[in-house]
């Protein structure tokens, strides 16, 4: 029985790899349609059940998208599976949940500070105005409107790296931000950022970028992330049960 199960898993993985290979060899793009299930079975030499299982796996990874009643298409290839995995890890692991968040903060800051010169030189006047608008949005909604504040904060950091024109950095930056925002509220002893300080930090980032001050931009980013690291370190050092 174990051998049969192992063989079935191997076959399923072969079909998964076969579908991915088909997408690559045919140079399909997100949104392009895949062959029908019978056609895939014939092309891959696989049974319908194996193809269905493989499509389910690829659908969960956003490599393909199943549109019921219409067919199967190449997916958006987003990082949704990564977000789900990291979020679950952060919520599940009591020993390293704070470390997960600390690592995410490091990566987010690495993207923004490491590309500071390119970001500052590439931001357009319209993008700078949009960043200012998002900071104003934070002021208007306040931290009391949790969802509105969070959405403005997320949009700010997404727009900040947009001028790089690097889709992977943009997707990763937003993905790590999403994991952080989901996990942080569930951690005992972790206090949230002061609303006024958070807004001021974002405004300093925009002001430095608008004036073309790369050193000031980098400094503002450091000042933005430093309190988050400090709160994480304090929460991690706090004895269990002291929230």
**What pLDDT, in 10s, does the model give residues 204-240?**
999 999 999 999 999 999 999 888 888 777 777 765 5
Q: State the pLDDT at residue 200.
A: 92
Total number of domains constituting the chain: 2
The CATH number for 12's domain is 1.10.10.10
Q: Does any domain span residue 49?
A: yes
Q: What percent of the chain has pLDDT over 70?
A: 78
Give the model's confidence band at 88: pLDDT under 50 very low, under 70 low, under 90 confident, else very high. low
Of 39, 74, 109, which one is at a domain's C-terminal end? 74
In Å, what is the CA distance from 16 to each residue of 13, 43, 60, 63, 115? Answer: 5, 13, 12, 10, 36
- Dist CA 80 CA 182 (whole Å): 13
Same domain, 139 and 184: yes
Of 50, 74, 98, which one is at a domain's C-terminal end? 74
| pLDDT at 48 exceeding the cut of 60 | yes
Q: State the pLDDT at residue 75.
A: 85
Same domain, 164 and 47: no
Q: Does any domain span residue 243?
A: no
Q: Does any domain span residue 47?
A: yes
Q: Does any domain span residue 242?
A: no
Q: State the pLDDT at residue 82.
A: 66
Q: Is 70 left (phi over 0), alpha (psi -120 to 50) or beta?
A: alpha
The CATH number for 162's domain is 1.20.120.530
Same domain, 62 and 166: no
Residue 211 lies in domain: 80-237
Give the model's confidence band at 81: pLDDT under 50 very low, under 70 low, under 90 confident, else very high. low
Q: State the pLDDT at residue 181.
A: 74
Same domain, 183 and 107: yes
| Dihedral over alpha carbons 146, 90, 171, 57 (to 10 degrees) | -120
232 against 164, higher pLDDT: 164
Same domain, 100 and 193: yes
> Token pair 């790296």 is at which residue?
161
| b/e code 143-158 from CB counts within 10 Å (16+ = b) | beeeeebbbbbbbbbe
Q: Kindly report, residue by residue over 119-153, the tens digit of the pLDDT.
A: 999 999 999 999 999 999 999 887 565 678 888 98
Of 74, 93, 114, which one is at a domain's C-terminal end? 74
Same domain, 140 and 186: yes
């Amino acid at each position: 029985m174990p051998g049969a199960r192992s063989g079935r898993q191997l076959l399923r993985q072969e079909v998964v790899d076969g579908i991915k290979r088909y997408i690559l060899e045919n140079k399909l793009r997100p949104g392009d349609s895949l062959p029908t299930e019978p056609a895939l079975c014939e092309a891959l030499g696989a049974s319908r059940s194996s193809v269905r299982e493989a499509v389910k796996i690829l659908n969960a990874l956003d490599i393909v998208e199943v549109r019921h009643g219409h067919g199967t298409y190449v997916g958006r290839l987003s990082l949704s599976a990564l977000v789900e995995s990291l979020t679950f890890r952060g919520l599940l692991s009591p020993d390293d949940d704070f470390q997960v968040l600390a690592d995410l903060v490091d990566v987010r800051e690495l993207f923004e500070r490491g590309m500071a010169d390119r970001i500052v030189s590439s931001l357009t006047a319209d993008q700078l105005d949009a960043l200012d608008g998002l900071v104003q949005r934070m002021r208007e909604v306040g931290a009391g409107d949790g969802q509105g504040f969070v959405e403005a904060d997320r949009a700010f950091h997404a727009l900040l790296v947009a001028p790089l024109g690097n889709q992977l950095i943009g997707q990763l930056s937003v993905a790590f931000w999403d994991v952080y925002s989901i996990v942080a509220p569930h951690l005992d002893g972790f206090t949230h950022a002061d609303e006024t300080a958070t807004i001021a930090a974002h405004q300093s980032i925009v002001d430095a970028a608008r004036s073309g001050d790369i050193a000031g931009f980098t400094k503002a980013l450091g000042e933005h992330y430093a309190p988050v690291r400090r709160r994480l370190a304090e929460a991690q050092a706090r004895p269990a049960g002291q929230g």
